[in-house]
Structure 1
Amino acid sequence: MLAGTEKDEERLVARARQGDREAFARLVERHYDFIHRVAWRWCGRQTDAEDIAQEVCMRLARALRDFRGEGRLRTWLYTLTLNAARDHGRKTAREKAKTEAYAVQALTEGGPTAEAEDEAGALWEAVRQLPTKQCQAVLLVYGEELSHEEASEVMGCAEATVSWHIHEAKKRLKVLMKDGAREN
C-alpha cells in the first residue's frame, strides 16, 4: 500500500471512529472484497461467505473504536473475518443439527410441525413490518436468495448499503420477534 493511501486510510479510520457514517461506508466498500474473499476461502460457499462478510461489517461497526492503529487495518480485518467465519461454522453446525431433528420429526409425524410453520409465518410478517429498504434487502437476499451484489443492483444502491440494511433489519427483527413472543 502506498504511503498516501495509508494516510488516507488512517484519516478514514479516525473519522469512522468518531461516528462518521460516510467514512465507515468508504472503509467497508474499500475492504469488502477482501473480507468476502477471506470468508469464501475459509468456508468454501458463496452464501456463507456473504453472511460472514456481513457479520464482519457489523462487528467492524461495533469494534472500530477499539482499533488502536498499531498494525494495519487489513491485518485486523483478517482476524475479525476468521473469528466470524469460525463463529458462523459453529452456528451452521448447530442449525444443521436442528434441521436434521426437524426433518426426522417431519418424516415420523407426517410433515412440518404447525409450530415451525407458525414461526416462519411470524418471521415473514415481522419482515413486512420493517422500513421499506430493510424489507426489500431481506426479501431479496433471504427470500429470493440473491447475493448482496445482485440485491444491490435491484435496489439501485451499493452492495455495502444492502449489507447495512440487512444488519439494521436483523436488529429490528430481534425486537419485533421478542415483542411478538411476549404477546403470545
Structure 2
Amino acid sequence: MTADGGAEHEAELVARAVAGDRTALEEVVRLLQDPLYRLALRMVWRPADAEDATQEILIRVVTRLATWRAEARLLTWAYRIGVNYVLNLRRKTPQEAGQLSLEDFREGLAEGLADQDYAGPDAGLLAAEVRLSCSQAVLQCLERGERVAFVLGEVFELSSTEAAWILEVSPAAYRKRLERARQRIRAFMGSTCGIVNPEAFCRCSRRVEKAVAVGRVDPRRPTLATHPVSPGGRGVAEAADQMLRLRDAAGVLRAHPDYAAPRARTDAVLALLRSGRFPLLD
C-alpha cells in the first residue's frame, strides 16, 4: 500500500469508527495497541506498569478519535496522546524515585560483576534478560523529556519533524534535546557496555548472578526475553542479531523484540468500548 493509500485507508477507517462502526473501532485499537505498548514500556520500565499505561492511553485515543484531522499519521497522532500521558505520570520508576544517575548506575554495574560468565541453566536466556532489563534501566536514568526524545528519535527512528510534532516543540528544540540525550547515552555506553566497546568492563553474562540474587531477574520466569511479540515482529534472536551488526549505543537500546501488548488488557479496552459508556459510540 502506498503512503497515500495508507492515509486514505486510515481516514476511511477513522470515519467509520467515529460514525459508530464497532468493527472499525476495534481495528483502530488493534492497529495502535502494540506500538503504544512499546512506547509505554520504554518510558515506565516495568511491563505491568506499561500495561496500565497502555490501557489508559488507548481509552484517551478512542475518546478523542473524532478530533483527528489527519494532520499527522494516525499512529503519530496517537503517540502525541501517549507521550503526554507518560510524561505526566505521577508514578515514578525505581530509578526516578531514587534519582539514579547514569554515573550511579555504572558504579552499581561494576560492583555486581562476576569474574566469569554465568554457566548455569539457561545461561543464554538469562544473559538476554539481563541485557534487555539493563537497557530499560539505562533509559530510566534520563530525565523524562530527554528519555522520550531518545526513544522517539533513536529507538523508534522517527524523523525530527515527526518527533517535534509529537512533543509540540520546534524541530530545532527537539534536535537539541535529542542531542543532549545522545551524548549522555554514548558516553555511558562507550565506557560501560562491552557490546558497544570491547574495552568496557560490563558483560551481560557476568551480571546474571547478581541480577538473580537481588531479584531483578527471575530465572524461573524471565519477563522480557520471553515476552510475546507482535505477529511477524522481531523476536529476541532477530533483535540481538541487529544489535551485534551495529554495535553502537543506540543499536543496543533499540534491539528489543517487537513486544506485543497483552491481549487481556486490549480485550478489556474493547469490552469497555462495547459497553456503550463512550460518547463516540452513541
TM-score using structure 1 length? 0.51
Alignment coverage as a number of residue pairs: 108
Say whether the 8 Å CA contact 2:26–2:270 is kept in structure 1: no
1:6-155 equivalent positions in 2, closer than 5 A: 6-87=7-88, 89-90=89-90, 92=91, 149=262, 151=264
Distance 1:167 1:23 in 2: 12
Larger Rg: 2
Q: Show the counterpart of 1:163.
A: 269
Identity of aligned residues (%): 34
- Deviations along 1:63-82, one digit per CA (max 9) or x if unpaired, are 01111112111111111111
Distance 1:59 1:25 in 2: 14
Instruction: Report deviation, 1:29.
Output: 0.3
The AA in structure 1 aligned to 2:34 is D
Distance 2:53 2:72 in 1: 23
The AA in structure 2 aligned to 1:84 is Y
Instruction: Report deviation, 1:60.
Output: 1.3
Say whether the 8 Å CA contact 2:34–2:261 is kept in structure 1: no
Counterpart of 1:37 in 2: which secondary structure?
A: helix
Note closer, same or farther for the CA distance 1:150–1:78 as it changes in structure 2 (3 Å cut).
closer
Give the superposed CA RMSD: 2.7
Say whether the 8 Å CA contact 1:25–1:160 is kept in structure 2: no
1:2 aligns with 2:2: yes
The AA in structure 2 aligned to 1:75 is T
Say whether the 8 Å CA contact 1:148–1:162 is kept in structure 2: no
Distance 2:8 2:14 in 1: 10
Instruction: Report deviation, 1:41.
Output: 0.8
Say whether the 8 Å CA contact 2:14–2:28 is kept in structure 1: yes
TM-score using structure 2 length? 0.34
Could you say which structure has the greater relative contact order, defined with CA pairs below 8 angstroms and 6 or more residues apart? 2
Unaligned runs of 5+ in 2: 93-259, 278-282
Q: Show the counterpart of 1:132.
A: none
Distance 1:166 1:21 in 2: 12
Distance 1:54 1:67 in 2: 19
Unaligned runs of 5+ in 1: 94-146, 152-158, 172-184
Distance 2:82 2:261 in 1: 17
Say whether the 8 Å CA contact 2:22–2:274 is kept in structure 1: no
Counterpart of 1:10 in 2: which secondary structure?
A: helix
Counterpart of 2:70 in 1: which secondary structure?
A: coil
Say whether the 8 Å CA contact 1:56–1:80 is kept in structure 2: yes
Distance 1:70 1:24 in 2: 20
Q: Show the counterpart of 1:103.
A: none
Instruction: Report deviation, 1:7.
Output: 2.0
Instruction: Report deviation, 1:166.
Output: 6.1
Q: Show the counterpart of 2:120.
A: none
- Deviations along 1:100-157, one digit per CA (max 9) or x if unpaired, are xxxxxxxxxxxxxxxxxxxxxxxxxxxxxxxxxxxxxxxxxxxxxxx97364xxxxxx
